[in-house]
Chain A
Amino acid sequence: MKSTGKITGAQALIRSLEMEGVEVMFGLPGGAILPVYDPLIDSSIRHILVRHEQGAGHMASGYAHATGRPGVAMVTSGPAATNIVTPLADAYLDSVPMVVITGQVAYASIGTDAFQECDTVGITMPVTKHNWLVTDASDIPTIIREAFHVATTGRPGPVLVDFPKDVANQMMDWYWPDGVDMPGYKPTTKGHPKQVKDAAKLVVSAKRPVIYAGGGILKARAAEALKAFAELTGIPVVTTLMARGAFPDKHELCLGMPGMHGNYTAITALQQSDLLITLGARFDDRVTGKVGAFAPDAKIIHVDIDPAEQGKVRRPDVPIVGDCKQVIEELIKATKAEIAKHPQADISEWLATVRQWQVDFPLYYEQEEGGTLKPQFVIEKLRENTPEDCILASGVGQHQMWASQHWSFNLPYTWINSGGLGTMGYAVPAAIGAKVGRPDRMVWAVDGDGCFQMTAQELVTAAAEKIPVKIAILNNAYLGMVRQWQELFYEERYSEVYLSPDLPDYVKWAEAMGCVGLRCDNADDVVATIEKANAITDRPVVIDFRTDYREKVYPMVAAGTSNDDVILHPALNGKKEASRKGGAAEQAESTDQSNKER
């Protein structure tokens, strides 16, 4: 520890952030955090002034997803702190590394109901990995080091540092700690060798194995290791909503997304598997459907860095606590050693079955010539007209599911969405954060009209800061996902889901926010409109795509039902019956142009 003279707590905070390598932070000042905004002027850190604190939190999250570095947000006390609770809860469920700094009333006034006082540490305790109230300026460097350490190691997650105003003004002797000393925090990263060996034995003997890859692959930066493991064993891979891009969609072993709106093959492969090699996934209810009926014949290998995930939902046969990358690399070695002893079980029959499902039950929609614009068509055209490494963010709803289904993800860290919390309004700020972190990449957001209205004002931030993100609103004039549930499960009794296609006028709104606003209401103009948007690089662009409000997301596994009961697009239903009777092959050829195999 080097001591280099007296500075204020506020200066120590900024200096500590610089020491942590922070290049950019998202925030909005106010009374309690004022002292910290002063030394910020002299700092190398870029500050992006948001229009709402929720925006700051989601931008930090988008930045973290895109770069792998912790996102940093700073806001004042009271209402600003409560405004950032949603992004914290969001990041907590999706394990996103974030450091949030909140101003607090003077330590001496805490508990007096002072102006803009709220119990930020208490409120955010259940939605952070850890949080700290700074009570003495001399603790600042230690706490900031700990905060970044906790946010980025083990299972990543958001942390919060609550910073009272008098502590910011207190003088302290600057130092920078050599490391952290946290006796109660020691994440296990290396998998237990015996468990890894047991896993390898299961891997080589399974007849219907599937790799169930989750967001942990991306957090552990294990995409390459995953690919090597899949190719070594020839085992097919499903990528959950949080893991899209962790394994290339165009890879022949990729089965795409499982779950409530996954494709038939991914869902059914998990369901009929005899071994799930679960890598950084957590058996979320959106993936398992009815838990008791999930993958009934499967043995479970579960690799997760969080011991509490082992056995939380499904009891694993081989639990391995550790970092996904390290464990997969060890598993590759162990599997090779097993294969050297005796060959891997033949899985060709299983692969053939899976391939046949892909042929029989593709993702399906129909864009009629001259008919209403289909949202899926927009996403496919977007994909075709953007670079492979384009980053796609999304909101929450039907558009999110279509984006995940119909976009082809072939690189890690190209998909940014709110999976666990399902936070409407995530797309715009997350895309902005991603673009700040990766200015070299094209960044698109696919958003719903409902979602867009929740956080659109951050496009003002983007325009002001020259962050040229592109937003495709799939404007179906409805809270579409809710409408879908009301249509299917509430006898088409639509309750409070209509939004109107024209109110607000998204083009005018975009223009008012300093963006370019475009509109497209038919299939013929989709590509031209996308090209126009792609050509604009100095400002954000918003396209108002007028899409068919009747379109529903298929396949679907209704909440609480078994994954055996996949509801297919009505046009495919006949096939399922045929396939059940064993006549799938004859029905296999599909003539429809827009049929997509995945």
Chain B
Amino acid sequence: MSFNARHHILSVLVENKAGVLTRVAALFSRRAFNIVSLAVSPTEDERFSRMTIVVDADASPLEQIVKQLNKLIPVIKISEIAHDEGVEREMMLLTVKAPVESRSQVTDLSSIFDAKIVDVGFEALTMMVVGAPDKLDAFSDLIRPFGIVEMQRTGRIAMPKLARQPTKLRAVKTARG
């Protein structure tokens, strides 16, 4: 999941109520929009949750996505976090083959990427990497020749960078209300 101009990060503040995730997901399928990744978590205020949705869309469909999302009653606020205006992080867990012969090479590579070894077996290691999505991409590319047994990524979460202008819906010029 390296940088892709069609990928847009929407940070969506929603009411923390039953069924909200279903409503959002159903809207995406009903309107034929594509989700690349989606992460949901509680916020500092227990009444609300935050969804970070990475969508695959051109600017004009993105505007429709945002407007349709806005019509969902439990959706409070939507911001688009542009790649250069936000801090994006993702976590990856991966189990890599690491027999004695290649183990040190694997651990060397992992230390370059600040990956943490979280589980050790006779023939394999499980590592955790946290970082911007392209860092995770690079790491998984480089480690692949050793043999990836299993891999999972959380999907992105993102926050606007500090001390800049407030976030705005870049692709949405006409939406209000």
Contacts and interface: CB of A to CB of B under 8 A. Distances in A.
A311 B23 contact: no
Contact of B176 (A121, A183, A307): A307
Interface stretch (A4-12, A185-193, A358-366, A513-521): A185-193
Interface in A263-294: none
Interface in B3-52: 14-15, 18-19, 22-23, 26-27, 30
Given A125-B23, A133-B19, A308-B67, A184 B175 contact: no
Residue picked from B19, B26, B67, B177, most chain A C-beta under 10 Å: B177
B32 to A, nearest CB: 12
B73 A188 contact: no
Nearest to A192: B176
A66 to B, nearest CB: 27
B13 to A, nearest CB: 9
B70 A308 contact: yes
A401 to B, nearest CB: 29
Nearest to A318: B174
A284 to B, nearest CB: 16
A278 to B, nearest CB: 14
B63 interface: yes
A521 B26 CA distance: 51
A150 interface: yes
B168 interface: no
Contacts of A188: 176-177
A186 B75 CA distance: 11
Contacts of A184: 14-15, 72-76
B71 A308 contact: yes
B73 A185 contact: yes
Interface string B113-144: 00000000000000000000000000000000
B152 interface: no
Contacts, number: 53
Interface residues of A, number: 25
Interface in B52-73: 60, 63-64, 67-68, 70-73
A576 to B, nearest CB: 36
B19 A121 contact: yes
Contacts of B18: 133, 135
A296 interface: no
A316 to B, nearest CB: 8
A150 B70 contact: no
B26 A321 contact: no
Contacts of A186: 177
A311 B174 contact: yes
A310 interface: yes
A306 interface: yes
B114 to A, nearest CB: 39
B22 A312 contact: no
Interface string A291-314: 000000000000000111011100
A126 interface: yes
A543 to B, nearest CB: 41
A130 interface: yes
A310 B60 CA distance: 11
A302 to B, nearest CB: 9
B172 to A, nearest CB: 9
Contacts of B174: 307, 310-311, 316, 319
A135 B63 CA distance: 35
Contact of B70 (A125, A307, A316): A307
A27 B22 CA distance: 29
A89 to B, nearest CB: 12
A555 B60 CA distance: 34
Nearest to B20: A184
B130 to A, nearest CB: 32
A130 B73 contact: yes
Given A121-B19, A125-B22, A312-B64, A306 B71 contact: yes
A135 B19 CA distance: 13
B176 A321 contact: yes
A384 B18 CA distance: 55
Contacts of A125: 22-23, 26
A503 interface: no
Nearest to B19: A121
A121 B23 CA distance: 10
B176 A311 contact: no
A360 to B, nearest CB: 39
Contacts of A308: 64, 67-68, 70-71
A582 interface: no
A121 B27 CA distance: 14
A319 B75 CA distance: 23
A130 B30 CA distance: 15
A122 B72 CA distance: 14
A352 interface: no
A161 to B, nearest CB: 13
B50 to A, nearest CB: 14
B73 A150 contact: yes
Interface in A148-183: 150, 182-183
Contacts of B15: 183-184
Interface string B69-85: 01111111000000000
Contact of A182 (B30, B68, B73): B73
Nearest to B69: A308
A311 B73 contact: no
B133 to A, nearest CB: 29
Interface of A: 121-122, 125-126, 130, 133, 135, 150, 182-188, 192, 306-308, 310-312, 316, 319, 321
18 contacts: A121-B19, A122-B22, A125-B22, A125-B26, A126-B26, A126-B30, A133-B18, A182-B73, A186-B177, A188-B176, A307-B174, A308-B67, A308-B70, A308-B71, A310-B67, A311-B63, A319-B174, A321-B177
Closest 3 CB pairs of A and B: A188-B177, A308-B67, A319-B174
Given A133-B18, A310-B67, 14 more contacts: A121-B19, A125-B23, A125-B26, A126-B26, A126-B27, A130-B73, A182-B73, A185-B73, A307-B175, A308-B64, A308-B70, A311-B60, A321-B176, A321-B177
